[in-house]
Amino acid sequence: MVYIGSYRREYLFYNEPSTPPSQNPNPHSISINPNSNFRAIIGLRLPSVCKLHKMALIDTAAAMIFTDRSSSSSSSTARLLIYNSTKFQKFPNTISPFRRSNSLRFGISSRTSSRTIITHCSSSSASAIQVNNETFAKVIDGKRVAKDIREEIAVEISRMKEEIGIVPGLAVILVGDRKDSATYVRNKKKACDSVGINSYEVRLAEDSTEEVLNHISKFNDDPSVHGILVQLPLPSHMNEQNILNAVCIEKDVDGFHPLNIGLLAMRGREPLFVPCTPKGCIELLHRYDIPIKGKRAVVIGRSNIVGMPAALLLQREDATVSIVHSRTKNPEEITRQADIIISAVGQPDMVRGSWVKPGAVLIDVGINPVEDPESPRGYRLVGDICYEEASKVASAITPVPGGVGPMTIAMLLSNTLLSAKRIHNLR
Amino acid sequence: MVYIGSYRREYLFYNEPSTPPSQNPNPHSISINPNSNFRAIIGLRLPSVCKLHKMALIDTAAAMIFTDRSSSSSSSTARLLIYNSTKFQKFPNTISPFRRSNSLRFGISSRTSSRTIITHCSSSSASAIQVNNETFAKVIDGKRVAKDIREEIAVEISRMKEEIGIVPGLAVILVGDRKDSATYVRNKKKACDSVGINSYEVRLAEDSTEEVLNHISKFNDDPSVHGILVQLPLPSHMNEQNILNAVCIEKDVDGFHPLNIGLLAMRGREPLFVPCTPKGCIELLHRYDIPIKGKRAVVIGRSNIVGMPAALLLQREDATVSIVHSRTKNPEEITRQADIIISAVGQPDMVRGSWVKPGAVLIDVGINPVEDPESPRGYRLVGDICYEEASKVASAITPVPGGVGPMTIAMLLSNTLLSAKRIHNLR
């Protein structure tokens, strides 16, 4: 998106992104202080727009604040992202007049021959900005990050093997024959193989009883097993709580044990394991250098396995956290205050663009199948967040699939490695 | 407080409570539906206001809704409480035109020969209401509630003794000779005596080492002890964490064990004990019929013993909870959104009137000594919340002292009883 010029109080933009978003994960950004009473023209710095640039300078008002930030998020709510385009052209028909408002936001992804947008704002009343139908938010590429993490884990495991001759072991217990569960277990095994973790798999019949506890007990005592995972859901005749409690806490790599959760909630205490999915969410924020401390964070959903521990994790990192759930009366209003949103409710496209503060960072845990006759499988997966709308408002967003999903297994591997290192006193 | 009548769009009230405040701890209040489009004048019903009364009766307007509520809290945010003054006069200059808004609220504390405020509303935009310098919020009388609870506990304990011949026992371990700790322990012992709980006290020297763990171990095994409490803080040479962890979880009546905290955090799980102070806060809300479900709640402070568990408790009751802490950038803004505020930071008068949404309910956990040359002790105790300011905005507030303070010990007794009942399988 590029601003072309201004005339009186009209501000002109055009946009012509040339690279698909997947190749351009880190947009360059410029921040505007939305509280300043400003008029602004942001010019292009390419030779071809010298004239325009010059023009821009004519009318740069005093109160305007621009901050060039390469990657870190900004405290202001208005952000300018820079589009890359190989050629600059004036497109009068894409010109959009707009006004400063809380929702002021222009997205332009940056690349090589950086261009600047030229914007020009007046401070009267709020009105939506007309922008082209493009994705502006940085895409948080969970698939790539998960791959990086798996590579790091593989290196650590090689080192461990060299130093003490031991490799981590993960035992997975699968009861019954749910197809989805079998797929998850298979993926976990594959992931273990890829990093050098030994995996042990036990498949039990739907109607098994004592066997589950017996196997857990065996794995608890087995020194070559550092993590034990009971694939959920268990058949309905089983007491899930009792079975999960049977896993000794030192090998509870899922991190679901209440003692772990308690330690996670308490200041000055450290959980043995952090539950994988919320750990993956925070890891994505870290890997993308998204600051958490002092930020407003909203977690949508309060499940024991994602929402609640995600909120506790954000709080450990000094975010100011609010938890929105089914009983919340005005989820939209609260969510719109957040700098960081983690959504884990399992409602397709629930979080609309209007729920998102401009410049917010969105972590979408939901993986919801929706009918899609055009897909070969008859359905496609969407998140809790309406990607199409939200990605135009946010500064960064995880896609579904390819966002949080791949991180969960990566964090399971990470927890298994952590467990093995702790058990063997390895730093 | 009684509605007298209305003149055109003016509505008149008066009030003449006949009991002195000590006998009348719950100010009488009248609620106004803040959504109604009304104007009001509130007058006195003393003989001297007959004329006003008469005048008022001319026209009773339709859109106004009044509900006379004796003590229970009201769902509306607008409340009328009653001024005290010995003589009624017409003060044209105290008549304050104001407008309907979310912040519509008039507070008048009730006292002996009461006076009434005269207010006057129209429905356009918001403006502050001019009111006399009085306390308007309902006072949440923790001292009285704690007394009620102690009486209930005493009845339960008599029944227990009758039915199974057992009374609950609480063991308190005090290390060192901190005066404040000694006072707390003495108060706990006194409270135990008052309800029929056996109390066992161990005082150890500042430099003791093994003895603490030995005593804990002994009490863990002692069937007449149902609760064990190690008075904090411990001398600095001791590992507080290890010592607290030594208390068996079934007797951890403080509820500080991480397993308890984890169970508190998890949906569908139940902690063995809820930490006493936050439990006391929620109990106050319950006893005053203050709805929690669906409400916005802000907890200020995130300590392991108050703030964090208070937030978890509010969330268990389906509030939408935000936690404000030292790293929060705009605590005032967030706090002002809350229907319920629990403050536990230990900062005298930190929460100002401007932090409080009109009609909010305020639970002040802070007990902070501030210098006061006029006090015989040279200091007085104040809360985290600036009572003078906040009580004019809130609908209900706990005083300091006499609010949350007395509840903590009452909840300790309650937890001890609970423990004894659980150990002896008594319903």
Q: Residue B316, Cα to own-chain centre: how many angstroms?
A: 18
For chain A, the residues whose C-beta falls within 8 A of a C-beta of chain B are: 241, 257-269, 293-294, 296, 302-304, 308, 312, 315, 318-325, 327-329, 334
The average pLDDT across A186-210 equals 96
The average pLDDT across B341-370 equals 97
At residue B263, the pLDDT reads 97
The answer, yes or no, to whether residue B13 has pLDDT greater than 80, is: no
- In chain A the first and final C-alpha atoms are separated, in Å, by 48
Options 2.60.120.200, 3.40.50.2300, 3.40.309.10, 3.40.50.10860; which CATH number does B150-254+410-423 get? 3.40.50.10860
pLDDT: is B398 or A36 the higher one? B398
Antiparallel, parallel or unpaired: β A227-230 and B66-69: unpaired
Burial of B261-292, coded b for 16+ CB within 10 Å and e otherwise, reads bbbbbbeeeebbbbbbbbbbbbbbbebbebbb
At residue B136, the pLDDT reads 82
The answer, yes or no, to whether residue A35 has pLDDT greater than 70, is: no
Superfamily of domain A147-262+410-423: Leucine Dehydrogenase, chain A, domain 1 (3.40.50.10860)
- Crossing angle, helix A307-316 and helix A276-287, to 10 degrees? 40
Mean pLDDT of chain A: 76
A269-409: which CATH topology? Rossmann fold (3.40.50)
Tens of pLDDT along A300-318? 999 999 999 999 999 999 9
A258, B269: Cβ pair inside 8 Å? yes
Contact by Cβ (8 Å): B266, A261: yes
The average pLDDT across A142-166 equals 97
DSSP code, position A410: H
Residues of A in contact with B269 (CB under 8 A): 241, 258, 304
Q: What is chain A's alpha carbon radius of gyration, rounded to the nearest angstrom? A: 25
At residue A356, the pLDDT reads 98
The answer, yes or no, to whether residue B114 has pLDDT greater than 70, is: no
Lowest mean pLDDT among A192-206, B38-52, B232-246, B387-401: B38-52
Lowest mean pLDDT among A283-297, A330-344, B28-42, B61-75: B61-75
Residue showing tokens 């990657």: A71
For residue A165, give how far its alpha carbon lies from the nearest alpha carbon of chain B (Å): 33
Q: How confident is the model at residue B17 (pLDDT cuts 50, 70, 90)?
A: very low
pLDDT: is A207 or B71 the higher one? A207
Q: Residue A120, Cα to own-chain centre: how many angstroms?
A: 32
pLDDT: is A255 or A54 the higher one? A255
**What ipTM goes with this model?**
0.71
B315, A322: Cβ pair inside 8 Å? no
Q: Is B293 a catalytic residue?
A: no
At residue B135, the pLDDT reads 54
Closest to A201 measured CA to CA, from A211, A215, A214: A215
Residues of A in contact with B338 (CB under 8 A): none
Q: What region, left, alpha or beta, does residue B346 occupy, with left being phi > 0 and alpha being psi -120 to 50 degrees?
A: left
Contact by Cβ (8 Å): B196, B167: yes
Residues forming beta bridges with residue B385, ordered by sequence position: B351
Tens of pLDDT along B297-323? 999 999 999 999 999 999 999 999 999
Catalytic residues of A: 188, 231, 254
Maximum alpha-carbon separation in chain A: 81
The average pLDDT across B113-126 equals 32
- Crossing angle, helix B179-195 and helix B142-164, to 10 degrees? 50
At residue A37, the pLDDT reads 30
Q: DSSP assignment of A323-390, as one string?
A: EE-TT-S-HHHHHTT-SEEEE-S--TT-B-GGGS-TT-EEEE---EEEE-TTSTTSEEEE-SB-HHHH
Residue of B261, B315, B339 to mutate, testing the A interface (most A Cβ within 10 Å of its Cβ): B261
At residue B379, the pLDDT reads 95
Tens of pLDDT along B329-342? 999 999 999 999 99
The answer, yes or no, to whether residue B163 has pLDDT greater than 50, is: yes
Give the closest of A304, A327, A334 to B267, CB-based.
A304
Tens of pLDDT along B235-264? 999 999 899 999 999 999 999 999 999 999
Distances in whole angstroms, Cα of residue B182 to Cα of each of A211, B317, B402:
54, 35, 20
B268, A304: Cβ pair inside 8 Å? yes
Q: Is B289 a catalytic residue?
A: no
Q: How confident is the model at residue B134 (pLDDT cuts 50, 70, 90)?
A: low
The answer, yes or no, to whether residue B26 has pLDDT greater than 90, is: no
Maximum alpha-carbon separation in chain B: 82
B334's tokens:
């967030």
Q: Alpha-carbon distance B413 to B417, whole Å? A: 6
Q: Alpha-carbon distance B167 to B158, whole Å? A: 8
Q: How many residues does chain A have?
A: 427
Q: How confident is the model at residue A209 (pLDDT cuts 50, 70, 90)?
A: confident
Residues forming beta bridges with residue B172, ordered by sequence position: B201, B229
pLDDT: is B123 or B366 the higher one? B366
At residue A104, the pLDDT reads 31
Q: Where are the beta strands (DSSP E) in B306-360?
A: 320-324, 340-343
The predicted model scores a pTM of 0.72
Could you check whether A147-262+410-423 and A269-409 share the same CATH topology? yes
Q: Rounded to the nearest 5 degrees, what angle is found at the Cα of B296, between the Cα atoms of B409 and A333?
A: 160
Tens of pLDDT along A74-107? 333 233 333 222 223 333 333 333 333 333 333 3
B264-407: which CATH topology? Rossmann fold (3.40.50)
pLDDT: is A316 or B82 the higher one? A316
The domain locations on chain A are 1-134, 147-262+410-423, 269-409
B31's tokens:
């609620």
Tens of pLDDT along A347-401? 999 999 999 999 999 999 999 999 999 999 999 999 999 999 999 999 999 999 9
The average pLDDT across B16-43 equals 34
Tens of pLDDT along B28-37? 333 333 333 3
A328, B320: Cβ pair inside 8 Å? yes
Q: Alpha-carbon distance B101 to B76, whole Å? A: 12
Q: How confident is the model at residue A135 (pLDDT cuts 50, 70, 90)?
A: low
- Residue B368's identity, in one-letter code, is N
Lowest mean pLDDT among A40-54, B226-240, B278-292: A40-54
Peptide bond into A401 cis (omega under 30): yes
Closest to B12 measured CA to CA, from B25, B2, B27: B2
Closest to A416 measured CA to CA, from A169, A186, A224, A164: A169
The answer, yes or no, to whether residue B123 has pLDDT greater than 60, is: no
At residue A126, the pLDDT reads 33
